[in-house]
Amino acid sequence: MKAIISVYYKEGVEELAHALKEAGYELVSSGGTADYLRRKGLEVVEVEDITKFPEIFDGRVKTLHPVIHGGILMRDWVEKDKEDANRLGIEPIGAVVVNLYPFEEKFFEGLEERELMEFIDVGGPALLRASAKNFYRVLVVCDPEDYGWVAQKLKEGSISLKDRKYLALKAFSMTAYYDSLISRALSDLFEIDGIFPKFAIPVKSLGELRYGENPHQRAWLLENPLEGLGITKAKVLHGKEMSYNNYLDADSSFKLVSQFQEPACAIVKHNNPCGVALGKSPAEAFLRAKESDPESAFGGIVAFNCPVDLETAKLLKELFLEVILAPEYEEKAMEVLKIKKNLRIIQFFGLSHYWDIKKVSGGYLLQEEDTVDYQKFEVVSQRKPTPEEVKDLIFAFKVCKYAKSNAVVIAKDGRTIGIGTGNTSRVDSLRCAIQKAKRFGFDLNGAVMASEAFLPFSDSVELCAEVGISAIIQPGGSIRDKEVIQACDRHGIALVFTGTRHFRH
C-alpha cells in the first residue's frame, strides 16, 4: 500500500511519515517534500517512478495521472475496479497527505497577476477530493495540526471509520474554502462583480465563543480573510474572553466613532448608541458622552477614535464597563485600566467594508455595507441653519445611522442629548428622545433633531417646536414632504433633506 505525501508546510510531517512507514506504507513523494523526507532519514519513491511520466511545466503537472488517481479512487469492494487495476498495473494508494499552495498569503503580498496564478493549486485539491471521496479505504490528511494525532493513532492501529470521516470532511471543507477564497479574491483583483447565480464566500473559524446572544445558543467567531481590518482583527490586550454580544457592540461602536476626525467617544448598549460626543480630548469626549445618558452607560461598550491617555483611563475606571476600544493606549493608562481584571481592553486597528449578511429562514440576505453619510445637504425650509446647527445636524445624522430603526437623535454642541430607537412609530422614538433629554436636565432650546428615514407626518415637527428644537435633518421623500416643510416654516425651524435613508434593523 502506498502513501502520497506532498505538502507545502513541511514542519512536523516527518512524524506522520515515520508512522505511515511503520504501518507498512511505501512513501511516494516529489520535489521539495521528497528532499525534506530524505533529509529526515526516510526512503521515498518519486511520483514519476510510479507514473513512468516526468513532471512537466515546472511541476504544474505531476500527480494528475490515472495511475495516481486510479490508485486513490479504486474501490477494493468492487470486483470490476480490482480487475481494471490489475489489468492496468495500478497499485492501491491508501493514504494521502497534502496541503495546498499558500494562495491566501501570496494574494496579500501583492504579486503581479501572472505570479499569483502560480499559487493556485490544482493537483493538491484534486488529490484531496479524490481521497476524501474514497475515505472508506483512503486516509486523507490536509491540516498540519492533524499530523501528530494521526501519527499516534497509526502507531496504535486505532484509526477508526469515524476518524476517516472526520478527516474526509475536513478535506472537503478545506478545498471548498480554498476555491471560494480564490473566487472572491480574483473577483476583487479583476474588478468583476462576482455575485454569480452560484458563488461562495470564504470564512474561517477563529474559535468557538462561550455562547451566543443567550447561554443556550452556540456561537463562533468567523473571519473573512479578504477583509484586512475589522473587529475580528482587533487585539484583546486585557480582560475576559469576548462574547458574541461584545463583538456585535464593539463593532458598532468603533464604526460609529470612525465617522469623525476630531476626538470622539461612543457608548453603546445592546447594539444601540446611548451616548456619543465630540471633545477636545478623549477625556472630554467620554464625559460628554456619559452625561448624555448616565443610566444606560453603566455596563456599556465604550469606543474612542483616538488614543486613550491617563486622564481618560482614570475616568473610565470609575464606571462599570464591559469593553473599551481604542486605536492606542498610553502605558500609564493601561496600568490604571488593568486594575479591573474582567474589563476587556481592545486595540482596534481600523475598518474594512465588504458585505452585510443576515440569516433568514431558508437562506441569507446579502447587501453592501452602508458606507454613505448623505448624498446631498439641501436646505428646504425658509430659515437656513446656522453654522453651529449645521455641525450638529451632520453629527446627529451620522449617529442616527448606527441606531436601530425607527431612530431619532437629538444633539446639541457636538453631543447627543437624547436618542430614541427601535419604536414602531417615528414620533414615539422622538418622544423617547425628548423624555431622556429632559430627564437628564438638558436644555432642548437650540438643539437639532436627526431622523434616519423621512418624517411621514408633521406631528414630529410640532413636537420639536414645543420643546425648542431649532433644526431637523432627514432624508425626505415622503408624499407629505410639503406638509412637513410648511410646519417647519410656521415654527421657524430649519429643515435639511439628505436624500439618503439609513434603516438599520
| Rounded distance between C-alpha atoms, residue 429 and residue 127, angstroms | 59
Adjacent-strand bridge partners of 3 = 27, 95
Adjacent-strand bridge partners of 273 = 268
Q: Which residues does the annotation mark as catalytic?
A: 133, 270
DSSP per residue, 122-159: SHHHHHHHHHHHTTTT-EEE--GGGHHHHHHHHHHT--
Any residues with CB less than 8 A from the CB of 19 and at least 6 apart, and which? 150, 151, 152, 154, 155
At residue 206, φ and ψ (nearest 5 deg) are -95, 0
Adjacent-strand bridge partners of 355 = 368
**Cell output for 344:** 476587556
Burial class, 351, CB count within 10 angstroms (exposed 0-12 / middle 13-18 / buried 19+): middle
| Rounded distance between C-alpha atoms, residue 329 and residue 183, angstroms | 38
At residue 396, φ and ψ (nearest 5 deg) are -65, -40
Per the CB < 8 A criterion, the answer to whether 410 and 437 are in contact is yes
